[in-house]
Amino acid sequence: MASANVQGYVLPPILDSTSDPPPLFDGTTRLYISYSCPFVQRVWITRNYKGLEDKIKLVPINLQNRPAWYKEKVYPPNKVPSLEHDGKVIGESLDLIKYVDSNFEGPSLFPNDPTKKKFGEELLLYVDTFTGAIYNSFKSDPVKEAATIIENPIPASDTQFDYLENSLKKFDDGPFFLGQLSLVDIAYIPFIERFQAFLADVWKYDIAAGRPKLAAWLEEFNKSDAYKITKTDPKELVEFYKKRFLVQNRCRTDQEKIMAAELVGGPLLSSSLHMLFEKMASPEVVNYMIGKKSSGLNVLLIKLKIKLSSVTAVLNDALQLKMEAESRTGCLNKLYNLQTLKLAGCFHLKKLPKDFHRLINLRYLDIVERSLEDMPTQMGKLKSLQKSSTLKAKFRDKNLEVLKLEWVDDYEIDYTEP
C-alpha cells in the first residue's frame, strides 16, 4: 500500500464489493485508483504536483474485490486509473496525465520549448519499450526459452538504464529529463521505483551505480512530498514481484515444464547430451582438434558445458514434476529410458512412485537429504545404478519413524515396508 508517512496526510479508505458508491456525477472530480498500481501513480503524482488535492478526490478501489458498481456505473473497462470529470469518465494513464495537465490549474508539466517538447514526446513514446524490456527480462517462456527458465535480467537492465542515463544528459538546466520536472519524469518514476527495489533485493543490482544523472534524478524525486505520498512500501513491491516473476518462473505448471523437457528431447536427451559432452572432452577428440590447430577449443568446451548445464537444469526440473505426477498415478512407463535423476531440489516430493524399480536403466540418482514419507519396495532391482550416485538419504515410513538408507556396493539392498 502507498505510504502515509507524509505529515498531516491521511489516505482515504479502500472501497470493495461491500461498499456503497459515492454520489456519482454530482460535479465532484474523482480519480479512481489502486494504491499499489504504477499506472495510477502517474496520475496521482500529476495531481499532487499541480496542487489539486482539493480539486480531485481520490477514490481507492480494491482490485481483488472490486465493487460491481464501478464497472456498471463508472468505467466499463473496470480498470484503474479512471477520472470522473465534467460528466464523463476517461482512462489510460498517459492520456490522463496529459488531460490533468491541460484541463486543470497549476504549474504546467510540459515545456513549450520546441526542442524539449519534441524530445519529451519521444521519451513518452519510449516508456512502454523501456518497461516492456525490463519486465521481459524478469520472465521467460517455458517453451521458447526452455534452457533458461530463470533469466538473468542484468544485461537488459543495463541497456535500458544506460538509455535513461544518456537521456538525462540532454539538458543541463535541471536534474530531470527535460531539465525541469515534466510529465516525462512522472511517466517513468513509478516503474523505476519498482525496478530499483526488485533488482536491488533479488540480484543485488544498483540501478544508480555508475549513473550519476539517474542517481541525482532519483534523489530529487525523493525530496518531494508530492511523490513520496504515492510510493508503495518497497518490501511490498519486492514480495509482489517475487510472486509474479520468480515463483511464476520456478513453479510453472506440470504441463509447461514437461513441455519444456519434451522440447529439448525429454529425459533421454539429458543422458545423451552428457555422453556427447564426455566424448567431445575426451583426450582423443581434444588431441585431434589440437592437431588440426583449431583455435578457441577451451572456450568452445566451456561454453558447451555452460549450455549443457542450463539444459540439464530444465530437464531435471521437468523430471521432478513428472515424478510427482507419476507418484500419484503409479505409472512410469514414459520414463523407462531415464538414466539420470536429481531430486535434491524437489522440496515438495513426499514419496517416490510405487513402481520406481521399473527404471532399470537409471544410472545416476541424487536423493540426498530428501525427506520422504516412505520408499517403494524392490529398490534393489535398480542394477544399473553407479557407485558415484549420491544415494545417502533419510526418509520416513508410514509410522513417521526416521529411517536411514545407504546404498551398498553390490546394490542388493531391498527396502520393504514394515
Please state the domain extents for the chain: 1-108, 114-250, 254-405
pTM above threshold 0.75 = no
| C-alpha torsion sign, points 309, 310, 313, 318 | negative
Mean pLDDT of 112-119: 97
Most confident of 47-61, 237-251, 296-310: 47-61
Q: Domain 114-250's class?
A: mainly alpha
Residue 15: is its pLDDT beyond 50?
yes
pLDDT by residue (tens digit) across 58-101? Answer: 999 999 999 999 999 999 999 999 999 999 999 999 999 999 99
Q: How far is CA 222 from CA 53, 219, 244, in A?
A: 19, 5, 26
Q: Provide the CATH topology of domain 1-108.
A: Glutaredoxin (3.40.30)
Asked if the domains 1-108 and 114-250 are classified in one and the same CATH topology, the answer is no
Residue 49 is placed in which grid cell? Answer: 504536483
Q: What is the DSSP letter of 83?
A: E
Rounded to the nearest 10 degrees, how much is the dihedral formed by the CA atoms of 23, 77, 120, 49? 20
pLDDT, position 1: 58
